[in-house]
Structure 1
Amino acid sequence: MSGVLQVFNPYDRGLFTTLEAVDEAEAFAALDRAYALYRDRSRHIRPHERIAILERAAGLMRERREELIHEAVMEGGKPWADSVVEVDRAINGFAVAVQELATGHGEEVPMTSTPAAAGRLAMTMREPRGVVMAISAFNHPVNLLVHQVVPAFAAGCPALVKPASATPVSCRNVVRLLHEAGVPEEWVQFLPCSGAVAEKLVADERVAFLSFIGSARVGWMLRSRLAPGATCALEHGGAAPVIVDATADLDAHVPALVKGGFYHAGQVCVSVQRIYAHASIAGELARKMATAAERLVVGNPLDPRTEVGPLINPAEVERVEAWVNEAREAGAQVLCGGERFSDTCYKPTVLFNPSDDVQVSQQEVFGPVVCVYSYTDRDEAIARANALPYAFQASVIAQDIDAALYAVRRLDAMAVMVNDHTAFRVDWMPFGGYRRSGMGVGGIAHSMREMSVEKLMVIKSPSL
């Protein structure tokens, strides 16, 4: 073992627990086991057996739901009410994987269009791509693991799992439940190792697929280390834009925008961050959002009444504070918040018309800060929304369907929500970003397809 990994409660910074870390030799021994398993077809688990195991695992998660929620809150700091939603989503994720595993299939490739193809029957079939290396993030410690590891096992791929250093307990819990449900230990291996060890694993030619959720800096670096032939799915952050048309019903949509901006203290890759509102309503929208944000309950995430909990560590509070102060000094109006709640929490903050050049306008805040900007020309607003090198999810708020569709067609995003916040997601929809926001497509069924290869079989027969 390479040492002890300490896990701290983000709210009070008390030591929650410790775990033994895995050193380089142990990590590569795990890769040896995973690759040998992948190459030995006699040890592969049949699809109907995988389905039964996944259904048992979902049942075990239901039985231990309260424990999973409690430990996720203790190490990740997401408020209890939101962690309930996360764990319930994770449980449902097993059903999504089972459905894809039960109904996913190849297809017949037509061989009738030319004389050269005559007398042949061609069809595709799915096979596992190989060993999956899954590197996860702290902000959804249960559900992200389900989105990375369950698709790998369902697709027939052995998986190595490196948790975020801040939230390894939830990862360990999910892996243990899979083993208890019948997943052999070699199929899903928990590796709480250092980033340096993970980087070496990623570069090994035996790793066929990298599933990474985290910062763009690390994700693109790891992609550059992949061996020839390996593929990846990278999920980074964004600075999600919202276009609010003059026809928008503000009272109807402010609650969703507030939820999308301050959910998990803004530590969400598609959190509402930049709202471009028509000048005729921008001031009113900003004030309504500030009034709603001031009512949010900030505090201990174990309290079911808490709506905004801590940031993952005090350094993040200091960073968010510095970014808000920079925007204030450059002329932004601070309509609410703008200061710490404590050493670990930052007050929900609404900024009106910050400069386009300050960091809250240029970078992903990943904190409880929402910016509202005024515009008069919708093309200019869309151009400002598209100006950053991120493209993940966006939204448009409008009663006028033509105005909504105009923005949908022109916003740079992998998904655009109409009359909803940018952080909407269900686990069977495609999910991902492009430009610096990532590559590949998430969503459980989509991940299963990316972790598979389509093999073509062509049968030649005089009977055809």
Structure 2
Amino acid sequence: MKKACYIGGEWVGTAEYAPLYSPYSGQEIAQIPQADHHTVQKAIAAAEGAATVMRRLPAYQRASLLERISILMNERLEEAATIIAIEAAKPIKTARGEVIRTIQTYKFAAEEAKRLHGETVPLDAAIGGEGRIAYTVREPLGVIGAITPFHFPMNLVAHKVGPALAAGNTVVLKPASQTPLSAFFLAELAEQAGVPAGALNVVTGSGAIVGDQLVRDPRVRALTFTGSPDVGIAIRNRAGLKRVTLELGSNSAVIVDRDVQLGEIIPRCIFGAFAYSGQVCISVQRIYVVKELYEEFVRRFVAETMTLRGGDSISEEADYSAMINPEETKRVLRWIEEARQLGARVECGGQMAERMLQPTVLTGVSANAQVSCQEVFGPVVIINPIDSVYEGIKLVNNSRYGLQAGVYTNNLSLALHAADELQVGGVLINDIPTFRVDHMPYGGVKESGIGREGVKYAMEEMTELKLVIVKR
């Protein structure tokens, strides 16, 4: 199956193609176009050409377009989930959940398109300001360059495309090399929904060609990127005066206090650690449990983890499947072995079953081990004992990342203290950091990124504030 880029409302072939392989079976599933510089230039020119059309489109029409995308996606929900399951090896029942969220994200974008507004400014609060009316408006930036990752190939695209179109911008989208089929599927829906030609463009190929050109081209007014810190930092360093939103790395943690019941907590933490083989930005990677509960927590956590079933991603029975590619699997295995060499104990997992890395639980992990201080992005969780929540807070903060963190406690004062002291973008009291709904502000501090997603908040990042003053 040979695919094509989507540029200016047309499907455009390229001189070169690359095979796309299923992470689970290893079989070829498509031939993906590899854009050259001319193709990227054509996409940026198409987006720039459509910018005036989108800027002048009334809010209700932008909302209607996004609503139609959500309706069309809902009609083809199973097809969309199957695409994700095949290209990303995301278990089909998890892929369905992503599609449902994606539909909701476009609905949120449709709603927010009608709520984008400014405010009046009381100039007469200052001497000399009397006799004037002032108000602000939010205007679209123009062309938005969107670079998206593999692990939520529809919903993280929606978090960039939805707000951009809702605010009246145009988009050049570069999807992850492993998950372009989801982006092509979106382009089909957008075309069917009546999105103006050039408002959405999908260009596939190497980051060195497509991504670099989006960063360097002055016609691209803003960049929104989800991916690794190294790439994100490089983008920001080269972007000049472009608006930049970066969603980067994490090693999210959970703190478990002594006064909680484990019946609900353990299944939630297992879900947070091993959903989609831990390939989630806010996957639970570190769990710190007070010593009084530690042994029971580990025993029950390991027992429930061992009930998870691996298999083909399109199987309804599979809880997990293969990681995104063999090289990532080998890296995670090296990190597990490093932790073992530093004194960690492998409570379960740590081995391959066919092409799948089994869910892995480590205890007694050194803070210097890569599985503790880096982002694993694989099915690995560490569980270490702590004397108190206060110690847990220090351990959570001892990280280059700060995306989200969870604290389980029935002590209100302690919960509020944790909310104040944790150096993260989001604190979840009595829940795991893997929680996200699509209209909340989402983003991190330190090397977890800059800016916020969540449709309303992303629209603020993608618009310019203009002040208008009328003298009577």
Question: Which whole-Å CA distance do the structure 2 matches of 1:413 and 1:115 have between them?
Answer: 41
Once the two structures are superposed, what CA deviation does each residue of 1:430-455 show, in whole Å capped at 9, x if it has no partner? 00112111110011121112101111
- Asked if 1 retains the 8 angstrom alpha-carbon contact of 2:50 and 2:196, the reply is no
**AA paired with 1:417?**
L
Report the alpha carbon displacement of residue 227 of structure 1 after superposing the two structures with TM: 3.0
Question: Which whole-Å CA distance do the structure 1 matches of 2:236 and 2:197 have between them?
Answer: 27
Structure 2 residue aligned with 1:280, among 289, 292, 306?
Answer: 292
- The 3 A distance-change label for structure 1 pair 121 and 316 is same
Q: Which residue of 2 aligns with 1:296?
A: 308
Question: Which whole-Å CA distance do the structure 1 matches of 2:62 and 2:389 have between them?
Answer: 51
- The 3 A distance-change label for structure 1 pair 31 and 42 is closer
5+ residue gaps, structure 1, are none
Question: Which whole-Å CA distance do the structure 2 matches of 1:62 and 1:456 have between them?
Answer: 40
Q: Which residue of 2 aligns with 1:56?
A: 68
Q: Which residue of 1 aligns with 2:59?
A: 47
Report the alpha carbon displacement of residue 2 of structure 1 after superposing the two structures with TM: 4.3
- Asked if 1 retains the 8 angstrom alpha-carbon contact of 2:116 and 2:167, the reply is no
- Asked if 2 retains the 8 angstrom alpha-carbon contact of 1:249 and 1:398, the reply is no
Pair 1:244 & 2:256 matched? yes
Q: Which residue of 1 aligns with 2:9?
A: none
Q: Which residue of 2 aligns with 1:354?
A: 365
Q: Which residue of 2 aligns with 1:213?
A: 226
Question: Which whole-Å CA distance do the structure 1 matches of 2:240 and 2:128 have between them?
Answer: 37
Q: Which residue of 2 aligns with 1:203?
A: 216
Report the alpha carbon displacement of residue 410 of structure 1 after superposing the two structures with TM: 1.2
Report the alpha carbon displacement of residue 404 of structure 1 after superposing the two structures with TM: 2.0
Q: Which residue of 2 aligns with 1:370?
A: 381
Once the two structures are superposed, what CA deviation does each residue of 1:151-190 show, in whole Å capped at 9, x if it has no partner? 1111111100001000000011112211210112211111
* Aligned partner of residue 356 in structure 1, secondary structure: coil
Q: Which residue of 1 aligns with 2:190?
A: 178
Q: Superposition pairs for residues 390-405 of structure 1, below 5 Å?
A: 390-405=401-416
Report the alpha carbon displacement of residue 402 of structure 1 after superposing the two structures with TM: 2.2
Question: Which whole-Å CA distance do the structure 2 matches of 1:222 and 1:185 have between them?
Answer: 28
Question: Which whole-Å CA distance do the structure 2 matches of 1:74 and 1:17 have between them?
Answer: 11
Structure 2 residue aligned with 1:96, among 108, 113, 133?
Answer: 108
Once the two structures are superposed, what CA deviation does each residue of 1:114-169 show, in whole Å capped at 9, x if it has no partner? 33000000001111012100000000111111111111111111100001000000
TM-score, structure 1 as length reference? 0.96
Pair 1:27 & 2:60 matched? no
Question: Which whole-Å CA distance do the structure 2 matches of 1:327 and 1:214 have between them?
Answer: 25
Structure 2 residue aligned with 1:415, among 401, 419, 426?
Answer: 426
Question: Which whole-Å CA distance do the structure 1 matches of 2:123 and 2:55 have between them?
Answer: 35
Question: Which whole-Å CA distance do the structure 2 matches of 1:261 and 1:111 have between them?
Answer: 52
Question: Which whole-Å CA distance do the structure 2 matches of 1:390 and 1:77 have between them?
Answer: 27
**AA paired with 2:134?**
A
Once the two structures are superposed, what CA deviation does each residue of 1:74-122 show, in whole Å capped at 9, x if it has no partner? 0001111111110011011111011111122111011221330000000
Report the alpha carbon displacement of residue 406 of structure 1 after superposing the two structures with TM: 2.1
> How many residues are paired up?
458
* Aligned partner of residue 128 in structure 2, secondary structure: helix
Q: How many percent identity over aligned positions?
A: 37
> Cα RMSD (Å) of the superposition?
1.3
* Aligned partner of residue 284 in structure 1, secondary structure: helix
5+ residue gaps, structure 2, are 1-13
Pair 1:318 & 2:330 matched? yes
- Asked if 1 retains the 8 angstrom alpha-carbon contact of 2:54 and 2:199, the reply is no
Once the two structures are superposed, what CA deviation does each residue of 1:385-442 show, in whole Å capped at 9, x if it has no partner? 1111100000001122222222222111110111111110000000011211111001
Q: Which residue of 2 aligns with 1:457?
A: 468
* Aligned partner of residue 90 in structure 1, secondary structure: helix
Report the alpha carbon displacement of residue 381 of structure 1 after superposing the two structures with TM: 2.3
- The 3 A distance-change label for structure 1 pair 2 and 220 is farther
Pair 1:117 & 2:129 matched? yes
- Asked if 1 retains the 8 angstrom alpha-carbon contact of 2:252 and 2:284, the reply is yes
- Asked if 1 retains the 8 angstrom alpha-carbon contact of 2:118 and 2:137, the reply is yes
- Asked if 2 retains the 8 angstrom alpha-carbon contact of 1:205 and 1:227, the reply is no
Report the alpha carbon displacement of residue 359 of structure 1 after superposing the two structures with TM: 0.8
- Asked if 1 retains the 8 angstrom alpha-carbon contact of 2:50 and 2:197, the reply is no
**AA paired with 1:22?**
A
Question: Which whole-Å CA distance do the structure 1 matches of 2:459 and 2:414 have between them?
Answer: 36
TM-score, structure 2 as length reference? 0.95
- Asked if 2 retains the 8 angstrom alpha-carbon contact of 1:37 and 1:44, the reply is no
Question: Which whole-Å CA distance do the structure 1 matches of 2:349 and 2:54 have between them?
Answer: 60
Q: Which residue of 2 aligns with 1:5?
A: 18
- The 3 A distance-change label for structure 1 pair 2 and 390 is farther
Q: Which residue of 2 aligns with 1:151?
A: 163
**AA paired with 1:46?**
P
Question: Which whole-Å CA distance do the structure 1 matches of 2:180 and 2:261 have between them?
Answer: 43
Of stretches 40-49 and 388-397 in structure 1, the one that deviates more from structure 2 is 40-49
Q: Which residue of 2 aligns with 1:135?
A: 147
- Asked if 2 retains the 8 angstrom alpha-carbon contact of 1:124 and 1:456, the reply is yes
- Asked if 1 retains the 8 angstrom alpha-carbon contact of 2:55 and 2:140, the reply is no
Report the alpha carbon displacement of residue 41 of structure 1 after superposing the two structures with TM: 6.0
* Aligned partner of residue 117 in structure 1, secondary structure: coil
* Aligned partner of residue 272 in structure 1, secondary structure: coil
Pair 1:107 & 2:119 matched? yes
* Aligned partner of residue 347 in structure 2, secondary structure: strand
Question: Which whole-Å CA distance do the structure 2 matches of 1:56 and 1:321 have between them?
Answer: 44
Report the alpha carbon displacement of residue 378 of structure 1 after superposing the two structures with TM: 3.3
Q: Which residue of 2 aligns with 1:434?
A: 445
Question: Which whole-Å CA distance do the structure 1 matches of 2:266 and 2:454 have between them?
Answer: 28
